[in-house]
Amino acid sequence: MTHPVGRLSDDHTARPPPARSRTARPRFTQSAIFSGIVSGNDAAPGLIRSTVTGPDYLTGGEFGVESSVLAMALCTTTGIVMLVMAVRRGRIVPPVWMQAG
């Protein structure tokens, strides 16, 4: 029987349905296929057994690759490049309190 809030467990307490996010597929690929660590969780055995070794600032340590300096540098650089492109194309909209009108 389905409860309006979610499924009832064996002890008859309501559990909310699992949240679906846009990042579910990349996380599934990282953990279930490449056996990688996903956002601080343990590495699950996947199809491909990978071993990441090196200093924590390069590998992300126990939190995963997304917390490494390399990921931060790549994402920051991409953000800056996109911001510069938007400014050059005139796509930046001033905040409401600075708009005339």
Domain map of the chain by residue range? 20-51, 54-93
The torsion defined by the Cα of 24, 25, 27 and 29, in degrees rounded to 10, comes to 160
Give average pLDDT by consecutive 10-residue segment, the chain, 101 residues. Answer: 51 57 62 67 68 84 82 95 95 87 67
Cα angle 68, 73, 77 (rounded to 5 degrees) comes to: 155
pTM of the model: 0.52
Cα angle 79, 20, 50 (rounded to 5 degrees) comes to: 70
Q: What is the pLDDT of residue 19?
A: 56
3-state SS, residue 42 = coil
Alpha-carbon 60 to chain mean position: 13
Q: What is the pLDDT of residue 74?
A: 95
Q: What is the pLDDT of residue 26?
A: 64
